[in-house]
Amino acid sequence: MTSEQSTQGDHDGEDAVTAFADRVFASALGGIELFSIYLGDRLGWYRALADGEPLDAPTLAARTGTHERYAREWLEHQAVSGIVTVENADAAASARRFSLPPAHAEVLANPDSLAYLAPLGRFLAATAGQFPALLDAYRTGGGVAWARLGEDARDAQGDINRPWFLQRLAPALAGVPSVHSVLSRPGARIADVGSGHGWSAIGIAQGYPDARVEGFDVDGPSIAAARKHAEAAGVADRVRFHHVAGEALPDDAHFDVAFVFEALHDMPFPVDVLAAIRRAVKPDGEVVIMDEAVASGFAPEGDDVERIMYGYSLLVCLPDSLSTPDSVGTGTVMRQSTLERYAREAGFAGIEELPIEGFAFFRFTRLLR
């Protein structure tokens, strides 16, 4: 190797180090930004700014019952991060007026929008509070149960899913003739296994007024929240929720259709759950699993869906699953081959991907009898 080649190699190595250092620094900026979104969401600052008129720090603090000095620091951070705009940057610090652009308000302050992502801040903040327990789990093979993440994680998950389930779920299912025909049966009985905050059950009930929906979940506070949501939505007479694990479904339930929405990968015993569902659904009924639209197999050049799903798995789904002794430990990244294996072990003949597109990061799969 010549001295010129050696020098070039050193430069290339330095460039690679710099590039990766820049990436890590950018990640730090993104992490801090997401936690600042958590503050703005939980303290009501985004909602106040979304009401219309530009606000200075004293006014924002007064309207939200918060401290002016913190509000000012947060507003300035949001401005230098490009999240809010300031109309009089040269004014005294307490007199500067800040606005939340309409497009940003859609994402951060409109809970009915399909683009609503403010709950991500709450979700990640909840996981950050469990890092000591996560470290212990990673060392010992134990887990961190979903219940330990608390209200922020539980509500954030529900709030992220809410607009999708209420606005898109029933129309998406109506576009699949085999599923739609079963849902349209007079007095159809529907099971929603892993129902969480209940928005999927409520969305289906609103789209199919003759149906009755039974939601099942192992998380007590989620069941309580789901009952309140159903009452507020005016469907509590047709939507009921039960604090019951999926594997404990009654064998003689005679459901016309059963769904598992973004929950099977969390379950410690998915084969047992699917077997219970197979027994509980009529022979001419349907079973549909909605789970993450990950790639068919592992590849190091994974896309953003792979990256975010592995992230959820590291911090939440795998530790939650492994918190139950003898769990299979699926993790968030459940490939279709894994789902098919679970389905066959539970007595199904196979799986069939449904032609439902445009539903965020999710894939719908029908289990075959």
pLDDT recorded at residue 12: 76
pLDDT recorded at residue 52: 83
- Same domain membership, residue 223 and residue 83: no
**CATH number of the domain within which 257 lies:** 3.40.50.150
pTM of the model: 0.92
pLDDT digits (tens, 9 = 90+) for 283-342: 999 999 999 999 999 999 999 999 999 999 999 999 999 999 999 999 999 999 999 999
In-domain check, residue 139: no
**Mean pLDDT, 10 residues at a time, over the chain (369 residues)?**
62 88 97 97 98 95 98 98 96 97 98 97 95 97 95 95 97 97 97 98 98 97 97 98 94 92 97 97 97 95 94 97 97 98 98 92 96
Last residue of a domain, one of 88, 107, 126: 107
Please write down the HEC assignment for all residues of the chain. CCHHHHHHHHHHHHHHHHHHHHHHHHHHHHHHHHHHHHHHHHCCHHHHHHCCCCECHHHHHHHHCCCHHHHHHHHHHHHHCCCCEECCCCCCHHHCCEECCHHHHHHHHCCCCCCCCCHHHHHHHHHHCCHHHHHHHHHHCCCCCHHHHHHHHHHHHHHHHHHHHHHHHHHHHHCCHHHHHHHCCCCCEEEEECCCCCHHHHHHHHHCCCCEEEEECCCHHHHHHHHHHHHHHCCCCCEEEECCCHHHCCCCCCEEEEEEECCHHHCCCHHHHHHHHHHHEEEEEEEEEEEECCCCCCCCCCCHHHHHHHHHHHHHHHHHHHCCCCCCCCCCCCCHHHHHHHHHHCCCCEEEECCCCCCCCEEEEEEEC
**CATH number of the domain within which 95 lies:** 1.10.10.10
Domain that holds residue 331: 162-368
In-domain check, residue 115: no
- Same domain membership, residue 258 and residue 361: yes
- Same domain membership, residue 265 and residue 176: yes
pLDDT digits (tens, 9 = 90+) for 344-365: 999 999 999 999 988 879 999 9
